[in-house]
Amino acid sequence: MNDDELIEDLILKGGIQAAGVDSQTGELLYAFTPKIKELMPELYEDHISSVNTEVMGLWEKGYINIDLFEKDPVITLSEKALNKEEVEKLSPRDQWSLYEIKRIIISPREEL
């Protein structure tokens, strides 16, 4: 199964959904739904690992705040995350990750 077929299959099974359009490429962007955990547990675990790595990187760079001693840590934005000049210093991937964190904080959705 090629990537396009896999994406179509996951959409039909409810594992992913369209989340927007990339403003630079015009390509559709997708987001996992909670159902991805049962449909493709390995992909889900890889995704969670990747997200954790990106979050920790933004925390280390001072863009987000996390109290790692809490049982269920809450992520908040630092002043640096709200400073356009500081955000532009990030790599495109880190900028996207920060954008997604801001989007989720502003408009929370069901957790994976």
Please write the tens of the pLDDT for every residue from 24-61.
788 888 889 999 999 999 999 999 999 999 999 999 99
- Split at pLDDT 50, 70, 90, the class of 94 is very high
Residues 5 and 59 in one domain: no
As given in the structure block, the two tokens for residue 49 are 């690992």
2 compared with 64, residue with greater pLDDT? 64
Determine, yes or no, domain membership for 98: yes
- Split at pLDDT 50, 70, 90, the class of 112 is very low
As given in the structure block, the two tokens for residue 5 are 């077929």
Determine, yes or no, domain membership for 112: no
Residues 28 and 63 in one domain: no
Determine, yes or no, domain membership for 3: yes
Of the CA atoms within 13 Å of residue 50, those in its CB half-sphere come to 9
Taking residues 69-87, report their average pLDDT. 94
As given in the structure block, the two tokens for residue 60 are 């280390």
Residues spanned by the domain of 3: 1-39
32: which strand partners? 16
